[in-house]
A = this chain, B = another copy of it.
Amino acid sequence: MAVYTQLTNETIAELVEKDYGLGQLAFALGIAQGVENSNYLLDIVTAEGQELKTILTLYEKRVAPEDLPFFLALMQHLAARGVNCPVPLKRKDGQVLSVAGGRPSAMVTFLHGRSRTVLKNTHVAAVGAALAALHQAAEDFPMIRANALSLSGWQALADALRGRLDEIAPGLEALVAEELRYLAAHWPDVPALPRGIIHADLFPDNVFFDDERLTGIIDFYFACEDFFAYDLAIVLNAWCFEVGKEFNATKSRLLLQAYQSVRPLTPSEKEAFPVLVRGAALRFLLTRAYDLLHRNKDALVTPKDPLEYLAKLRFHQQVRGGQEYGLS
Most buried by B among A1, A10, A27, A28: A27
A44 to chain B, nearest CB (A): 11
CB of A32 within 8 A of CB of B9, answer no
| B-chain residues with CB within 8 Å of residue A116 when the two chains form the complex | 9-10
A9 and B300 contact, Cβ closer than 8 Å, known pairs A31-B31, A32-B2, A32-B31: no
Q: Quick check: A30 and B31 within 8 Å, CB to CB?
A: yes
Measured between alpha carbons, how far is A40 from B321 in the docked complex, in Å? 45
Cβ–Cβ < 8 Å partners of A112 in chain B? 26-27
Q: Please state if A117 and B300 are interface contacts (CB–CB under 8 Å).
A: no
Name the B residues within 8 Å of A185 (CB-CB). none
Contact with B along A1-30 (1 / 0, CB 8 A): 111001011100100000000000111111
Oligomer: number of copies: 2
Q: Does A311 contact B (CB under 8 A)?
A: no
> How far, in angstroms, from A278 to B129 measured CA to CA in the complex?
66
B2 touches A300 (CB 8 A): yes
The answer to whether the Cβ of A206 comes within 8 Å of any Cβ in the partner chain is: no
* Minimal beta-carbon separation of A29 from chain B (angstroms): 5
Number of A residues near B (Cβ < 8 Å) is 31
B114:A9 contact, CB within 8 angstroms: yes
Instruction: Give the chain B neighbours of A6 by CB distance below 8 A.
Output: 1
**Would you give the shortest CB distance from A69 to chain B, in whole angstroms?**
27
Min CB distance, A46 to chain B, in Å?
A: 15
On chain B, the residues within 8 Å of A100 by CB distance are none
Cβ contact within 8 Å between B26 and A113: yes
Q: Which residues of B contact A300 (CB under 8 A)?
A: 2, 298-300
Binding site for B on A (CB under 8 A): 1-3, 6, 8-10, 13, 25-33, 41, 112-118, 208, 210, 297-300
Q: A26-B114, A29-B41 are in contact. List 7 more A-B contacts (CB 8 A).
A: A2-B300, A26-B112, A27-B112, A29-B29, A29-B32, A32-B32, A300-B300
